[in-house]
Structure 1
Amino acid sequence: MTTILPEGDDWRVKTITNALRSFFEQKKRAFKNNLKEEYEAYWPAFTQQIRAVRNNAGHPTDISPISADTVHASFLIFPELFVLANKLADWLDTEF
């Protein structure tokens, strides 16, 4: 059985997203063209958006860590990321 996530109890967002990225990078040759293109276009944006919002909320550098623009950007990218996450989950279900 293929292991995607790291061993142990490391639940940190960076650890999990890095493990998923590494796994998908190794397997993306098996993706159909549409999934491969969507993964390459949206996965980096997906993980960066999560990290940026989390970092700004958890480690604010000013008194207004989450702006309306940040929330708006998250809402704009969410539909594409949701579709990609579902396609990757479906791919995992059929391949593993």
Structure 2
Amino acid sequence: MTEKESKLLQGFEQKVNRLTSMYNQLEDKYRKLDEVNRMLQNQIVDLKDQNESLAQDYQNATMAVAFTGSEENSKMTKKKINQLIKEIDQCIAMLSK
């Protein structure tokens, strides 16, 4: 093997080693990003659950305030009760079939 060929082979080996190193770095970075992505996805699910819970708590609180007696709240309460009665009637009708 000539000196020129040897240098070419050595340069090629260096480039292959550099590419391998870059590949390994990118692979590590991908794994870390994938882990962060999974953690964020779990956080999104948790926050959605928390949001639903808070929305239900808010609805319950407004219903409790409605029972305290003002005219506007009384109308809202009657409307909600009528809506619940309709839902119950629909459930009963479905059970009767």
| Fold equivalence (TM over 0.5) | no
TM-score where L is the length of structure 1:
0.31
Tell me which of the two structures has the higher relative contact order, counting C-alpha pairs closer than 8 angstroms and 6 or more residues apart. Answer: 1
Report which of the two has the higher share of helix. 2
When normalised by structure 2's length, the TM-score is 0.31
